[in-house]
Amino acid sequence: MSPIASQAELETTKALLIKIMDTPLRNLRAVAAQTLASVLLSAVTDLQTSDMLNGGETSPNKKNSNHALDDVRGDEQSFSVPRRSAQAQVYTLDFRDMLRHISVAYTRASSRPVRGGLVMTYALLFKSAGTRVIEANYQIILEHLLNEFVPGLLLGDNRHRIYSGRKHIQFLLCNILRRQLLNEPAKLMALQTISQYLEKGNFKTKENEAGPETLVVESALSALCEVAGILLDVGSATAPVQVTELNMRSLM
């Protein structure tokens, strides 16, 4: 696969792959998700990908590495991020912008198979980026999922979409990131990151205008569920998580 040369080429490729995802054939969606994850990763500058791309083991919890992802991957095989030619003109993204390409497409998607395929893209992208990249960018990933992905679920007040979106966010935070890509020290780091995120939040309902420090309640609930999951995973190794009384009241 040749490197992406421009934003227009990226948008055209992404639109084609999303169109392919709109199918009941799970394996075809998996291939489209693989390709989209590969295209996006190939455009990220200075990304240190994991040994998974070379056939190595990425997960710190090897016994869990094949269980959760089976729900979205199907029988697809590992893929490789294309190498760039030194002279080729390429279009580049930073890590946060790469994630936004997926969340914007998810928010706009009216098809359930397409949304499932985009969640598959997230999962494959995280797994391929690897443990070190995920640990280094966990705060960016958390803020992206809770500030950009989750609020998109609330557009249109579709209860089924909100419910399926909750399952998707739980799948990504719990089954992919926490259980497959974070070891115990990284989980403690993630717990601290989420705690700080909750403490600074000014929780509002979705009807309120959102500002840079404003979180919808749906985001806060997703964060609290992940706190509970981390506490169960690491047990006594954790210090008490402090969430201010003001923020707790705002969730009631």
- The answer to whether 46 and 81 are in contact (CB under 8 A) is no
Q: Distance (Å, rounded) from C-alpha 111 to C-alpha 93?
A: 27
pLDDT 10s digits, 161-186: 888 888 999 999 999 999 999 999 99
Q: Distance (Å, rounded) from C-alpha 206 to C-alpha 186?
A: 31
pLDDT 10s digits, 89-144: 778 899 999 999 999 999 999 899 999 999 999 999 999 999 999 999 999 999 99
Whether 50 has a pLDDT exceeding 80, the answer reads no
Using only C-alpha atoms, what is the Rg of the chain? 18
- Specify the pLDDT at position 31: 96
Whether 72 has a pLDDT exceeding 60, the answer reads no
Where do runs of H (alpha helix) occur along the chain? Answer: 7-21, 26-43, 70-73, 95-108, 112-129, 131-136, 138-144, 150-153, 159-170, 184-200, 217-234, 245-250
pLDDT 10s digits, 17-41: 999 999 999 999 999 999 999 999 9
